[in-house]
Amino acid sequence: MQSRRPVVLITGGSRGIGAAVAQLAAERGYDVAITYRSEREAAEQVLAACRSAGARAVACQGDVAVEADVVRLFDEAEAALGPISHVVNNAGITGKSGKLAQTSAETIRDCIDINVLGALWVAREAARRLPQSPGDSTRTIVNISSVAASLGSPNEYVWYAASKGAIDSLTIGMAKELAPEGIRVNAVSPGMTKTEIHERSTQDAGRLERLRPNIPMNRIGETGEVAEAVLFLMSDAASYITGANIPVSGGR
Ligand code: NAP
């Protein structure tokens, strides 16, 4: 009988870093559930890539900021693929960039609702559902933070940097809380990575290229480079690693 492939649920898997994690996970032997908020067509493309790599794959629509949606996303993923063994807490936004003094309450609230509350709902649901297996440590949660948490993102989006500071604390606390249950919890902190998040935050098309000289490696990161770190933390190669936070930022 064929052994069951581990199942990973990736929030915000329709585009960018989440999509790259989904595709690499499919190639590395996982079945994949991705979630998305509005871009069904982009999610379908990721599903096709995952399936052509041999994975079972489903896409579930929902807003991670809404507690009931998160519960339903897990229900739908489990109904389609069976018990979830890994969760990548990835969905996130920055909001329109600018100085804090000129930023609307709506922009700040949306970011905190999605990046902090959303990540908490997802982490809590993962803690409730990942099978406990003390002494085994093959179940994992990977939170996607950002180097913004330590840089602070002045003049761009300090509220976003603060939301990622919350992810760093969440990672430390959950790692300690879930270690006795055999669940490892880690974070990956990308630096500037080529995705649509940047165009959505600013009308300034040349921004990434202008900021490139601030990166010691002098180039923007690729989504696949972030995905490699996530897949490492999910794998048995990281069996004694919990509470870690790996920057994937070209030295920034
Ligand atoms: P992206 O390309 O804009 O993709 C964002 C993904 O999140 C999409 O799949 C989107 O779904 C989903 N999403 C957004 N809001 C959601 C919500 N309320 N509920 C459910 N899904 C939602 O972003 P990215 O650059 O890949 O970013 C992914 C993560 O990496 C974020 O946590 C971000 O903060 C972090 N990060 C990114 C960078 C970077 O330079 N790109 C650097 C550091 C950290 P739809 O397709 O349906 O909109």
Tell me which of 30, 36, 157, 160 is the catalytic residue.
160
Domain count within the chain: 1
pLDDT digits (tens, 9 = 90+) for 84-131: 999 999 999 999 999 999 999 999 999 999 999 999 999 999 999 998
Q: Is residue 2 part of a domain?
A: no
Q: Is residue 1 part of a domain?
A: no
The number of the ligand 1 atom at minimal distance from the alpha carbon of 115 is 32
Q: CATH number of the domain at 76, please.
A: 3.40.50.720
Q: Is residue 118 part of a domain?
A: yes
Ligand 1: distance of its center to the CA of 133 in Å?
31
Is the CB of residue 159 below 6 angstroms from any atom belonging to ligand 1? no
Q: Is residue 194 part of a domain?
A: yes
Q: Is residue 244 part of a domain?
A: yes
Q: Is residue 80 part of a domain?
A: yes
Amino acid making up residue 114: I
In degrees, to the nearest 5, what angle opens at C-alpha 27 toward C-alphas 21 and 31?
75
Q: Is residue 152 part of a domain?
A: yes
pLDDT digits (tens, 9 = 90+) for 15-39: 999 999 999 999 999 999 999 999 9
Residues 6+ apart with CB under 8 A from 21: 10, 13, 88, 90, 226, 227, 230, 231
pLDDT of residue 8: 98
Is the CB of residue 252 below 6 angstroms from any atom belonging to ligand 1? no
- Asked if the model's pLDDT at residue 1 lies above 60, the reply is no
The number of the ligand 1 atom at minimal distance from the alpha carbon of 91 is 7
Domain hosting 112: range is: 7-248
Q: Give the span between the Cα atoms of 197 and 78, in whole angstroms.
A: 29
- Asked if the model's pLDDT at residue 2 lies above 70, the reply is no
Which pTM does this prediction carry?
A: 0.97
* C-beta separation of 141 from 86 below 8 A: yes
Q: Is residue 102 part of a domain?
A: yes
The number of the ligand 1 atom at minimal distance from the alpha carbon of 40 is 47
Is the CB of residue 226 below 6 angstroms from any atom belonging to ligand 1? no
Residue nearest to atom 10 of ligand 1 (CA): 12
